[in-house]
Amino acid sequence: MVALVSGTATVFFDVGYQSYLPWLVDRNQIVDGNSKLEASRAVAQVAGPGITGVLIRVLGAPALIAVDAFSFLLSALFIGRTSRPDVVPDRAARRPLRVEIAEGLSFVVRHPLLRRMVACTGLANLAGSFTGALLVLYAIRRLGLSESVVGLVFSAGAAAGHARPAR
């Protein structure tokens, strides 16, 4: 259930931050803004597992979950302090979100290529979530690796995924 809620929130966040950037910065700053967003995402993806492994070892999992929840509160505070006011369109001029979602899903389901891409990506993400969780349990319980080592291995894997081959 936690993975479902977290995954759903991640989808909305990923779409949201990329969509919000052009409204937040001037047109000539979009490339720079996208570069910074991607750089921070890549750093988090590479450094996050290693730092998490060490922090689980030092603080313990329950305390780390509390720290993570606090980080979301800080993020909400910072987002709330953006300098540009949010202009919400008139409610009468907007279509209901349910209608927009239904229209988008209908389009994807009717389009053979998109339908296959969504199915493939969804199943791959689901399987990746299962295997990622099981891999951590296997590494700690069966292989006897510490949380720190598991985190560093995941960080190394993420770094290798971001490495570009020489040309």
Residue 93 inside a domain? The answer is no
State the chain's maximal CA–CA distance in angstroms.
60
Alpha-carbon distance of 49 to 105, in angstroms, equals 34
Domain that holds residue 74: 2-87+99-162
What DSSP state is assigned to residue 25? Answer: S
Q: How many domains does the chain have?
A: 1
Local confidence pLDDT in tens for the 167 residues of the chain: 666 777 777 777 877 888 888 888 889 999 999 999 889 888 888 888 888 888 888 888 888 888 888 888 898 898 888 877 777 778 888 888 899 999 999 999 999 999 999 999 888 888 888 888 899 899 999 999 998 888 888 888 877 776 655 55
Structure token pair of residue 32:
């720079």
Q: How far is CA 167 from the centre of its chain?
A: 30
Cα 79 to Cα 13: distance, rounded to the nearest angstrom:
12
